Structure 1
Amino acid sequence: MRIAIITIAANRDTHLRFHLRSLARSTVVADEHVVVAIGDPAVADVVASEGSTTRLLWIEHDQGPLPLAYARNAGAAAALAAGAELLVFLDVDCLAGTEMLQRYVAAARQRCHRHALLCGPVTYLPPPGSLGYDLDHVHELRCPHPARPAPPAGTVLTGTDYNLFWSLSFAVTAVTWNRIGGFCTEYTGYGGEDTDLAQTAAAAGVGLRWVGGADAFHQYHSVSDPPVEHLADILANAELFHRRWHRWPMEGWLHSFEELGLITYDPIHRRWVQAV
């Protein structure tokens, strides 16, 4: 089974450096790693300085919301053109556990799981030391996100709640990717595109699986809760999702924005609007 990793990157130099180093320690070596640089020439410098065999794919971008969905699709298309049979999407902020690829491949080889979205547990890491994360010991910090399933290593759990899917770390066979049709590229910027992919998969009869032992470790960076810096993107993407699926995504954030007085719900037009 030919394995391809797809990573999209912009303005995450240090995270990308450790991301690449973690993959170099994997028990299974991918046949292809496509890093999609979204308007950031420094991505090529990081890849070169790490001596990586990663294939760089450039996407023009000057300003405005990042085209995350488009970039992921472009990375997948490049991997498929090179003969990939299993696509592994790993966020640039994530370190790969040494057995992550091995566990995804094992799940994809099982007839009962190969036509599903395969999702691995993700641990959010504390801030690193002055020299960055110690990759020899990062596994000791394992504490998967409590809102999502994390079955024991070597086991695969069938999921039913597609709202729990996220794009930080997941794998899908080429056949299933084509069945889903990829990410909807109408989404730009932060939020919603991964929930849409999961909804599209569910509508196409694609299953959801949680793969024990396919661990990834999310490197620390400062965030807002709720992410007010992404308010405009989230509002636009939430409205797009509602138009496509007739329900609201990211409701926790929307209600938090409402409590902060940043948005209000217009019951006449049935939409969220930014407060004046």
Structure 2
Amino acid sequence: MRTAVVTIAAHRDTHLRLHLRSLARSTVPPYEHVVVAIGDPAVAEVVASEDSTARLVWIEHDRGPLPLALARNAGATTALAGGAELLVFLDVDCIAGTAMLERYADAAGQRRHHHALLCGPVTYLPPPGPAGYDLDGVHELRRPHPARPAPPAGTVLIGSDYDLFWSLSFAVTATTWDRIGGFCTDYTGYGGEDTDLAQTAAAARVGLRWVGGADAFHQYHPVSDPPVEHLADILTNAELFHRRWHRWPMRGWLRAFEKRGLITYDPRHRRWVESA
């Protein structure tokens, strides 16, 4: 199965270097790697300095929320035009486990899992030491995120809670991608576009699977909880999701923002708004 990895990148040079190096160590190398640079010329410099054969796609972007959904779709379109049969979306700040691509391909090759969203376990790594992460030892740090299923390697678990889907590491066959229709590009900035894709998949009767052994390792970078720096994007995207699906996504973050007094619910207009 011709497997293409799709990565979107902007201003994450250090993460991208290790991302590229990890994919080069895969037990089954990708048929193609498409890296989508979102308004960041340094992405091409990093790819060249790592002697990577990745194909670059350029997305114009100057300021404002990053067009994440648009960029992922552009990467998928390029990969499919090159003959990809399986798309693996992996965020730039993720290190690919050596067997990740092999496990995704094995699952996709099974008839009962072929037409499904395939999700692998993700470990959030602690901060690296002065020498950075050691790719030889990263698997020893494996601690899959406890909120998502992590079946044993070589097994596939059928899922039913589509709200657990996340876009930092997943795979989908070309035919299933066409059936879903890609990410909704009305979403910009942080939050919501992956929940929308999962909801779209569920509405199209596309299954959800958790693929044991398809491990990715999320490189540490400082974040806030809840992500207050993305408050405006989250409110905009949450309202868009509510219009499309008649329920609120990212409810944990919305409750946390409300508890902090950052947002309030406007019952008259049925929307969340930033507090004055």
TM-score normalised over the length of structure 1 = 1.00
| 1:95-153 deviations in Å (ceiling 9; x for gaps) | 00000000000000000000000000000000111121000000000000000000000
| 1:183-202 deviations in Å (ceiling 9; x for gaps) | 00000000000000000000
Q: Which residue of 2 aligns with 1:14?
A: 14
Q: Which residue of 1 aligns with 2:63?
A: 63
Where does the alignment leave 5 or more consecutive residues of structure 2 unmatched? none
Q: Which residue of 1 aligns with 2:138?
A: 138
1:244 and 2:244 correspond: yes
Q: Spell out the pairing of 1:213-228 with structure 2 (5 A cutoff).
A: 213-228=213-228
Q: Which residue of 2 aligns with 1:111?
A: 111
Where does the alignment leave 5 or more consecutive residues of structure 1 unmatched? none
Match of 1:136, SS? coil
| 1:190-220 deviations in Å (ceiling 9; x for gaps) | 0000000000000000000000000000000
Between the aligned partners of 1:215 and 1:223, the Cα distance in structure 2 is 22
Q: Which residue of 2 aligns with 1:129?
A: 129
Q: Spell out the pairing of 1:1-276 with structure 2 (5 A cutoff).
A: 1-276=1-276
Between the aligned partners of 2:170 and 2:4, the Cα distance in structure 1 is 12
| 1:227-251 deviations in Å (ceiling 9; x for gaps) | 0000000000000000000000000
Match of 1:144, SS? coil
| 1:161-191 deviations in Å (ceiling 9; x for gaps) | 0000000100000000000000000000000
After alignment, is 85-94 or 127-136 more displaced? 127-136
Match of 2:14, SS? helix
Between the aligned partners of 1:242 and 1:116, the Cα distance in structure 2 is 24
Between the aligned partners of 2:192 and 2:131, the Cα distance in structure 1 is 34
Please identify runs of 4+ aligned residues in structure 1 that moved more than 6 A: none
Match of 1:80, SS? helix
Match of 1:229, SS? helix
Between the aligned partners of 1:121 and 1:212, the Cα distance in structure 2 is 7
Between the aligned partners of 2:49 and 2:67, the Cα distance in structure 1 is 26
Match of 2:110, SS? coil
Letter in 2 for 1:8: I
Between the aligned partners of 1:182 and 1:102, the Cα distance in structure 2 is 23
Match of 2:11, SS? coil
CA RMSD of aligned residues (A): 0.4
After alignment, is 123-132 or 158-167 more displaced? 123-132
Between the aligned partners of 1:5 and 1:143, the Cα distance in structure 2 is 23
Letter in 2 for 1:272: W
Match of 2:179, SS? helix
